[in-house]
Amino acid sequence: MKGFSHFMSGVAVASFGPWAIEAARNGNPLFFILGGACGILPDTIDFKFYRFFYKHDVYVEPDPQAPDPQYVADEVARTIALAVDEKRYIRLKLSSIRLGADFWQQYAVTFDNDKLEVAVKFGPVVNTGQVPVEGTENRYPTVARAKIKAKVIQTYDAALKVDIFDGPTIGFNPLPNGDLDLEFLPWHREWSHSLTVGAILGVLVGAVAWLASGWAMAWQCFVTIAACYGVHVVEDQLGHMGSNIFYPITKLRTPGLHWMHSGDGLPNFLTVWISCLLIFWNLYRGQPNMTYHFTFLHLMMVGLVVPGLAFGALRWLLNRGQRVEVAAGDDADDEWNESKAAG
């Protein structure tokens, strides 16, 4: 899911703590701030910090003065040979090609397992908004190819496209049958996306709170942090990429349920809207002497079910007889593009 959706989920989970409502009534938003911060913290760790310290085995750095697609193809093939020959996990960094203050050379890497080839195609020059510069589409019409030593298995459809700012990391993991499993952004959803890490963070902050304010504040901080951090991990399991749920007990990502993509509009909207309804409900039931009373079921019917049915009916009426197809990327691809757009 997108960052704002995770943020609102964290705030909603925090609102279930009676201590959070009580503190808010007294003018202290601490627990709501903790909830929102922990809701987005796993992705913040990965995209804003960890990826800059991640170690790579091979760097592909095309010359901006003379970009050569064949160089990229040969380096990718060499990396694959290294993983096959040494039978170990190899991390490859595809660096971006900056041509000027606001211009980048776009290129894409694809694998043809039938021919055992890697193909590299240079696309147009794009600006920082990822808009192609007119007249550069066919600047490099030739597709560079190089033979590879093993099949490369992509378990999801993340596009290996490089353009603005930073380039992606690819991990090649040798499989028992001799193929290579391709991991897109191996530094993402690694140790940071773990329920145990959320619990450990809760213990550390709880210890500080215990020294400052006593036992009650300590366990309240622990529950808030562990729960709000954990809801991010649980939400990511609804997608494709999954998370390393119990690091360091587990070392690999647990595949997601494939119910959605992180960039899908409807799931993100529903997450934010339901979070707002839950926050409203928890604030309402925490207020004494309310003059108007309603139940949780009443709130969900008025705030979610009835508008949802009305929206569904309107959408059906407007799209009758039309086949609507929405192109969606992979979880990692969606999040990677979002992080690049944010700079």
The structural domains of the chain, with segments of one domain joined by +, span 3-49+193-341, 58-184
Instruction: Indicate the helix (H) or strand (E) that contains 274.
Output: helix 265-285
pLDDT in tens, the chain (343 residues): 899 999 999 999 999 999 999 999 999 999 999 999 999 999 999 999 999 999 999 999 999 999 999 999 999 999 999 999 999 999 999 999 999 889 999 999 999 999 999 999 999 999 998 899 999 988 888 899 999 999 999 876 556 899 999 899 999 999 999 999 999 899 999 899 999 999 999 999 999 999 999 999 999 999 999 999 999 999 999 988 889 999 989 888 888 888 888 888 899 999 999 999 999 999 999 888 888 889 999 999 999 999 999 999 998 888 886 765 655 556 666 677 767 656 6
Show the 3-state SS of the chain: CCHHHHHHHHHHHHCCCHHHHHHHHCCCCHHHHHHHHHHHHHHHHHHHCHHHCCCCCEEECCCCCCCCHHHHHHHHHHHHHHHHHHCCCEEEEECCEECCCCCEEEEEEEEECCCCEEEEEEEEEECCCCCECCCCCCCCCCEEEEECCCCEEECCCCCCEECCCCCCEEEEEECCCCCEEEEECCCCCCCCCCHHHHHHHHHHHHHHHHHHHCHHHHHHHHHHHHHHHHHHHHHHCCCCCCECCCCCCCCCCECCCCCCCCCCHHHHHHHHHHHHHHHHHHHHHCCCCCCCCCCHHHHHHHHHHHHHHHHHHHHHHHCCCCCCCCCCCCHHHHHHHHHHHCC
CA distance 282 to 169: 42
